[in-house]
Structure 1
């Protein structure tokens, strides 16, 4: 018995010694890693030397014990790797710490590792992956009630959405982040929330609100100044705010306010030496605002100095912006040749860097000013615009899907965690249900007759409601038919009779062919009267010809005392087979009425009628260079009213742009 006791004591002592030895080795290993970090921080090492230290640390951590200390060392390694631009090691270290955190069920470090991974993908501009990991991280921080980090990751998501062009979603996400971060004392993150909301509102053209949030952001920078936050970062942020506020005033066409802000930003001490990129941006924007405000002195110097700085630093997006601005400047100076050179250079470079905004802007300016290649640039503009819209739609759907899938994962986890509880509760519920089944059965039998009576009453009520609805629909159909016939009489018959009457006035003796044409036109008017009176469902107008052919005939037949020249352009990409006959009639009548109004009132030399395909919509644009009118003061006659009503039937939008002496543009998009 004594022998067995001695053996047990010896075994216990051996195990204790082994355990102590392992702990000693683990402590020594971690001490070595900490010493390596201190060496890196105390010595001014070159990048290559720092990378060698980091590789040694990474290898040592591979065999370290999985606890919070080791995982914090992994995070420190990831940060140092990021600072030395060793992004692959950064990702490996972050994935490793994520795996270890999951094994140890450390929610805080799981969430932290996920947003570190998100930062990696954001740096690689893989926005959908970054958004996914930020969303995962946010869910965990929310579940453990970590308000600061929940707000921080929500703010990162808002930044991703802004970069992807989802400005509405970016604003919503940034406001959600602000609600959380406002509960903390982190002034810097509150500033970033205000700034993100402001730039999102700027892109959404909500200028007054955008300026309001920029001012709130500047107030946070004032607080950071009091808190002794690094001055270089405050200066950079404040100057960026001045620049962005200037851009808002530009969009509002308040160029003097914009000039004042840009000049304030340019007065920042050390801006030219320390922040050349921002300096070049302010110069370019200042030149543009001065040009738009009518100031010519020194504008070209500002533009070319900005271009020189950007070219020396090879800031490709900035070079594109400068070339487009210089092109606009030469257009302003009416030097079209130089303007087209810079605009084409801007287009070429914007394609190279895949800047959709600059591609669209340069194509728009080239379409408007390069008369020789107008058709080419116009078609290219439509094609690019459509592809950008499709890409933005796909991106929006992608982020929505990521958010949905993240919620689904969370719901599945909650379901699994509650599964055992549900089984126990379910068993108890089944017993209760069996006990109450008999009582429910008897109660159901008694209530069955009452339920039948109630259903009969509800059925009678529904029949009564249907009768009222039928009566209302019948009355509405009568009114719509009256209005339709009135429009047909005005737009078809009255206009046709007017044209024939005018042509009869202009008819010269000895023109038998012209006389026969007018007789044919009167016969056609007679047929149309018959069609309206018998309420035919198909317009005679389209029995033998396509809509474009009919429109060509309509335009060719126009003449008036002002010798207006009418031109028609129909986009070949419009698929007329998808447009119903009824809608073709409305399109024809709208154009017919607009031409008639131009004949009567405009006194124009030229009138252009264009039908364009813009995305999945059709645009009708009718422009003349006549005397114009004030749309707000003019009284809408039956003709304009019919155009408005037909536009509503087409489910389109009507826009009339005109002023005295500047012609008239009528545009309908449906």
Structure 2
């Protein structure tokens, strides 16, 4: 099934590319690529097939014009790479679209590319680079007064500062973000800002304000739900806020309210199955709050279940938190030996994952409870604390420096840009003057030659008009003469012969042989004259217009109940003057018959007619993506018989392929 789906996807890609190579229609082109990208969301398709399709699309997009539509499609390809965790490909595409946007001086796409780069470095936890690109993106959005995106990049900068432990700076950045985002209708970004503000305030122990912002975040979730946002994400976000608010109350020593919130979060439907990481966090926090409140009923089981889930998911920061919490539980149970074991395991793992907060927390507990090694852990605790503070100070200074240097670089770029503009304008004026002088000189020297050429062109134009007039009059006379002859043959001779035949029938029965002979001769003459009259009239079909014009008109006039879209492509290198009129009629009738079958039976969305020249052969190809048919079962049909007989008259070869998945292709080569 997966292989079949992959083949269908690749066929769609091929059809998209071939359809757009002839003529690029902006809307059809965009919709085609977007539809193909949306198909990659299917869980049936393997990731390797999705990546190959994206690789092909990326190469295909590079061959098209550098316009806003194409750059937007590049962004969509980058997003798909990101969703598939192909971060190197995501980075490569983002850099490519940044380069294209710079060439076109498209500020919007330059800014968007920069914050895409910020997303890449944030995913790679290179926080200083992420902050740098978000800051550059924010400055560009601010320059074009894009309130929503300026607020969004400010929010992303605040997230980087929070991850780096700069909670106060994060709060300042969030105030700026909210000032902008509250002017927009972007409920999701406002929710994220409130939630991050609450978390930052929690870390700097501003508990009251933290709870206020959590409440604001919950109201935004209600608004998101009314707007039809993804329900599963809203449920998870509510459970997460309940956990974070519980942590605030825990820090405020209000264990009763903390326990209520943790339990409320744990009551979320299918939380354990769908979000085991969040479930384990809530369970551990609930057990810890119950332990602090003096209620030891069932908390051991909660602690160890949380640790088991985190261990099975390999969530190392969560494993450290669980081990430290279990160590504290054994301290409450007066089992110092087990407690120290868990504290030491937490200390070792926290060092391994570079979690400074957990290293300090585990060392603090070891210092307080390991009497034998108290001096060792105390010295280590002081050393790590000092180191952590220095690192935090350096980090804070680093982000401030990045912000300052970004401003400085922008100012220098503006100054250089102004200087370059002055040089370019000055050079342009000099070049313009010299060019003008040269043009005037050349115009004077060629003036006589141009006048002579103009007179010659006027003479040629008059001759050409006379030739056209003569040709038109000749064609008109020929047409009138043929119509006259056809009318006389049909209305005069045929009727006269018919009358004679009728009278002969009434002759004396004794002259039967003679009568029969005369009747047959008259019937023969009558049929011959009808044939000549018919051919004279039908040949006029191709006297007024060229065959390509007639076929194009025929295709464009097609309509049916399925709203089939008909397209035609005729090779300009076909020399129609070398094709006999009779063969032109066969070509026209073959296409007419095929289109009639499409309208009556195919139920197709698309139908494409192509006339191609290859060496000394011409191919007629009619393709539709309809329900298809079995050529063996319907080969006796009148329509296909007519097509076959006309193909034979062309001394050509007929090929028919049809099935329910690929539609129908009729090809005549002659």
The bucket for the TM-score relative to the shorter chain is 0.5 to 0.7
Q: Is the 8 A contact 2:194 2:213 kept in 1?
A: yes
Distance 2:173 2:24 in 1: 49
Corresponding residue for residue 260 of structure 1: 260
User: Equivalent residue of 1:233, what SS?
Assistant: helix
Alpha-carbon deviations, 1:325-349, whole Å to 9, x = none? 0000111111111100111111111
Normalised to the residue count of structure 2, the TM-score between the two structures is 0.58
Alpha-carbon deviations, 1:410-465, whole Å to 9, x = none? 22233345558999xxxxxxxxxxxxxxxxxxxxxxxxxxxxxxxxxxxxxxxxxx
- Tell me if 1:405 matches 2:405: yes
Q: Structure 1 residues 372, 72: CA separation in 2 closer, same or farther (over 3 Å shift)?
A: same
User: Equivalent residue of 1:183, what SS?
Assistant: coil
Q: Give the superposed CA RMSD.
A: 2.3
Corresponding residue for residue 271 of structure 2: 271
Corresponding residue for residue 437 of structure 2: none
Distance 1:392 1:291 in 2: 32
Distance 2:40 2:256 in 1: 52
Distance 1:41 1:385 in 2: 47
Q: Structure 1 residues 34, 147: CA separation in 2 closer, same or farther (over 3 Å shift)?
A: closer
User: Equivalent residue of 2:40, what SS?
Assistant: helix
Q: Is the 8 A contact 1:29 1:64 kept in 2?
A: no
Distance 2:212 2:243 in 1: 15
Corresponding residue for residue 311 of structure 2: 311
Q: Structure 1 residues 21, 27: CA separation in 2 closer, same or farther (over 3 Å shift)?
A: farther
User: Equivalent residue of 1:116, what SS?
Assistant: helix
Measure how far apart 1:264 and its partner are: 0.7
Normalised to the residue count of structure 1, the TM-score between the two structures is 0.58
Q: Is the 8 A contact 2:26 2:69 kept in 1?
A: no
Corresponding residue for residue 167 of structure 1: 167
Q: Structure 1 residues 246, 38: CA separation in 2 closer, same or farther (over 3 Å shift)?
A: closer
Distance 1:192 1:182 in 2: 12
- Tell me if 1:140 matches 2:140: yes
Alpha-carbon deviations, 1:10-39, whole Å to 9, x = none? xxxxxxxxxx99865999987875564355
TM alignment of 1:185-264, pairs within 5 A: 185-264=185-264
Alpha-carbon deviations, 1:210-250, whole Å to 9, x = none? 11111111111111121121111111111111101111111
Corresponding residue for residue 341 of structure 2: 341
Alpha-carbon deviations, 1:643-662, whole Å to 9, x = none? xxxxxxxxxxxxxxxxxxxx
Corresponding residue for residue 54 of structure 2: 54
Q: Is the 8 A contact 1:26 1:64 kept in 2?
A: no
How many corresponding residue pairs? 405
User: Equivalent residue of 1:55, what SS?
Assistant: helix
Distance 2:25 2:298 in 1: 72
Measure how far apart 1:311 and its partner are: 1.0
- Stretches of structure 2 that go unaligned for 5 or more consecutive residues are 1-19, 424-670
Distance 2:256 2:134 in 1: 41
Q: Structure 1 residues 32, 322: CA separation in 2 closer, same or farther (over 3 Å shift)?
A: same
Q: Structure 1 residues 42, 349: CA separation in 2 closer, same or farther (over 3 Å shift)?
A: closer
Q: Structure 1 residues 50, 421: CA separation in 2 closer, same or farther (over 3 Å shift)?
A: closer
Distance 1:347 1:154 in 2: 35
Distance 1:307 1:316 in 2: 10
Distance 2:184 2:34 in 1: 32
Q: Is the 8 A contact 1:33 1:60 kept in 2?
A: no
Corresponding residue for residue 396 of structure 1: 396
Q: Structure 1 residues 30, 281: CA separation in 2 closer, same or farther (over 3 Å shift)?
A: closer
Q: Is the 8 A contact 2:150 2:180 kept in 1?
A: yes
TM alignment of 1:479-518, pairs within 5 A: none
Alpha-carbon deviations, 1:95-116, whole Å to 9, x = none? 0000100110000000001000
- Tell me if 1:80 matches 2:80: yes
Corresponding residue for residue 415 of structure 1: 415
Measure how far apart 1:61 and its partner are: 2.0
Distance 1:421 1:34 in 2: 40
Q: Structure 1 residues 27, 178: CA separation in 2 closer, same or farther (over 3 Å shift)?
A: closer
Distance 2:405 2:263 in 1: 48
Q: Structure 1 residues 38, 269: CA separation in 2 closer, same or farther (over 3 Å shift)?
A: closer
Distance 2:346 2:420 in 1: 64
Measure how far apart 1:59 and its partner are: 1.5
Q: Structure 1 residues 291, 222: CA separation in 2 closer, same or farther (over 3 Å shift)?
A: same
Distance 2:344 2:289 in 1: 22
Corresponding residue for residue 158 of structure 1: 158
Measure how far apart 1:42 and its partner are: 6.4
Distance 2:337 2:367 in 1: 14
Corresponding residue for residue 359 of structure 1: 359
Q: Structure 1 residues 293, 21: CA separation in 2 closer, same or farther (over 3 Å shift)?
A: closer
